[in-house]
Structure 1
Amino acid sequence: MASQSTIGIIGAMDVEVALLKKQMQKCGEVHTTAFSGMEFIEGVIGQTSVVVVKCGVGMVNAATCTQILIDRFGVGAVLNTGIAGSLDAAIEIGDVVVATDAVNHIMDVSNLGYAVGQTPGADTLAFPMDEKLSCAVVDAAAKIGVTTHRGRVASGDRFVCSDSEKQRITKAFDAKCCEMEGAAIANVCHLANTPCAIVRAISDKADGSSSVDYPTFEVQAAHHCAELVIHAISSLA
C-alpha cells in the first residue's frame, strides 16, 4: 500500500509509460498489482515513491484508473503523462503543454441551459491543476531545454483529426491541446480533493495531417514527455 507522499503516474498507452517503468527498475525493486485489467507498478523514481500504470485509451479507463490509485493505493497526487494534438499554431510538434486546467470537450447539455462542457451537478466547468506539481514540471523542462506552454487541456472520447473539430474546441474552450484522458483524471481528482497535474507532449497538429504526423512522432513525443516527468519527479525529493 502506497503512502500519501506517493505520486500516481498515469499514461494511456504502453509507449507513454515504458520509459517510466525502466527508470523504476533502475532505481530499485518494483511490485506489480492488477486491478480492473490494469497493472499498477509500485516503486521509486529518484527518491520519490510512485505508482505507474497504463490505464488504456479513453475517459472511462482513465477515471477508473484514477479512482483505484486514490482508493486502493492512497496516492497523494496524480500526474498524467502522454501525447496530445496541438490546438495552437504557436505550439509545435515536440513541445510540451503543462495544463492549467482541463475540460471535457464532448460534454454538451447546453439544451438544458448548461455551458458547453459543463457536467450537470459539477461545481466547475474546468477542473484545476495543482500549481506546485505543475511548476515542478515547468522548472524541470527549463533545466533540460524543453519548450513548454501553460494552458487548458481539452479531453474527449474522440481522436481530433479535422480542422473543423479543432476550431470548435478552440472557440468553445480556448484550449492549447486535445487528448482523450486528462479531464477524466482531473475530474476524479477534483472530487477526491487530490492534487493533479497533466503533462502532454505534442505528437500532431490535430488539423487533418494526423495520418502522417501521428505514427511518425508518437513514440518520440511519448518518450520526450516521460523523460520530462522523470526529471520533475526526481526534483521533488
Structure 2
Amino acid sequence: MTFPSSGPIGILGAMPEEVAHLVEEMGASRRTHERGGRTYHAGRLFGRDAVVVFSRWGKVAAASTATHLLAEHGVQELVFTGVAGGADPSLRVGDVVVASGLVQHDMDASPLFPRHEIPLLGVTRFAVPEALQQRALQAARRWLQRPEALAPEFGVTAPRAVLGEVASGDKFFARADELQAVRARLPGLACVEMEGAAVAQVAHEYAVPLTVIRTLSDAADEHAPVDFLRFVQSVAARASHGIVRELLERA
C-alpha cells in the first residue's frame, strides 16, 4: 500500500445525495460509464483525477462497486463518504467520524472462525493507517469550522470531528437493544453503517488506501426522530462535498 497516491481516486457514497455535489463539481470534465447498474462519473475533482459513484446500500453493493473502481477504472485510493448512526453516547447529530478501524459486525462463521473474523483472511479489524486517519481528520475539522457546516434546524451548532471505530453490516438499526448488543461485542464503537468494512476488505485485498468518513444522522442517546432524507440532502451532502474538497485540495 502506498500513500499518498498520485493516481486517480475513487469516491463512493451509498446514497445519490451523498455524492451529487461532487459529481456536479466535475463540470465539463465529467465523463460517464455505465456498468452493473451503476453510473461511474470520471473527471477532475479539486485538482485530482477522480471517479465518483453512488454504490447503493449494503455490503455486497459497496464491495462490488469498489472492486469495479479498482479493476476497471484503475483507481489507486478509495474514499467512502456519507451518513452513519451514532453508537457512542458522547457523539451528537452532525458530528463526523473518521474511521480508525472497521469491523463487519454481522460476520459470524463460528465455530470455524472467531466471531467477526473474515474467513481465510485472518482479519477481524481492518486498521486504517495513521497518516490516512490524520489527513481525513484535519480535513473534517477544517470543514466544520465553516459556517455552512452548521444546521441549527437539526441541532447541529457545534459539530466536531473524531477518530473512531466503525462497524458495518447489512442491518439498519432501529432498536436501542440491538445496537447495545453490538456495542457490547465491540467496545469503543463510534458508529454503525452498512458499507465501510466491506469496502475495507476489498481495499485490504487489493492493497490500496481507504478512508471512511461518516456524518452522524442520529445519536445513540437521542430519541427524537430526525427527518433522515432531509438531513442527508441538506447536511450530509454538504459535508461530503466540503470534507472531500478539504481532503483533495491539500493532498
Letter in 2 for 1:21: V
**Match for residue 239 of structure 2 among 208, 221, 224:** 224
Alignment partner, residue 164 of structure 1 = 177
User: Which structure 2 residues correspond to residues 174-189 of structure 1 after superposition, within 5 A?
Assistant: 174=187, 175-189=189-203
Separation in structure 1 between the aligned mates of residue 161 and residue 222 of structure 2, nearest angstrom: 23
Q: Could you tell me the percent identity over the aligned residues?
A: 34
The answer to whether the Cα contact below 8 Å between 1:102 and 1:182 also exists between their aligned partners in 2 is yes
Where 1:83 maps in the other structure, the secondary structure is strand
Residue 8 in 1 paired to residue 22 in 2? no
C-alpha distance in structure 2 between counterparts of 1:218 and 1:195, whole Å: 26
* C-alpha distance 210-108 of structure 1, shift in aligned 2 (>3 A): farther
The whole-number CA distance in structure 1 between the counterparts of 2:83 and 2:133 is 16
Distance 2:161 2:226 in 1: 24
TM-score normalised according to structure 2 size: 0.86
Matched pairs, number? 231
In structure 1, stretches of 5+ residues that fail to align are none
Q: Secondary structure at the match of 2:61?
A: helix
TM-score under structure 1 length normalisation: 0.90
Please tell me whether the aligned partners of residues 162 and 206 of structure 1 are also in contact (alpha carbons under 8 angstroms): no
Q: CA 1:11–1:192 in structure 2 vs 1: closer, same or farther (change >3 Å)? A: same
**Conserved 8 A contact 2:168-2:194:** yes
Does structure 1 conserve the Cα–Cα contact (< 8 Å) formed by 2:217 and 2:226? no
Matched, 1:40 2:40: yes
- Give the C-alpha shift of residue 224 in structure 1: 1.6
SS at match of 1:176: strand
Structure 1 residues 1-237: aligned runs within 5 Å: 5-25=7-27, 28-110=28-110, 112=111, 114-144=113-143, 145=145, 147-174=160-187, 175-205=189-219, 209=223, 211-219=225-233, 220-236=235-251
- In the TM superposition, residue 66 of structure 1 has moved relative to its aligned partner by 0.6
- Secondary structure at the residue paired with 2:113? coil
Assess if the C-alpha contact under 8 Å between 1:81 and 1:226 holds in 2.
no
* Alignment partners' CA distance in 2, 1:129 and 1:172: 20
Distance in structure 1 (CA, Å) of the matches to 2:48 and 2:229 = 33
Q: Where does structure 2 lack aligned partners over 5 or more consecutive residues?
A: 146-158
Q: Tell me how far apart the structure 2 counterparts of residues 204 and 216 of structure 1 sit (CA, whole Å).
A: 13
The question of whether the paired residues in 1 share the 8 Å contact of 2:32 and 2:42 is answered with yes
Q: Is 2:126–2:197's contact at 8 Å kept on the other side of the alignment?
A: yes
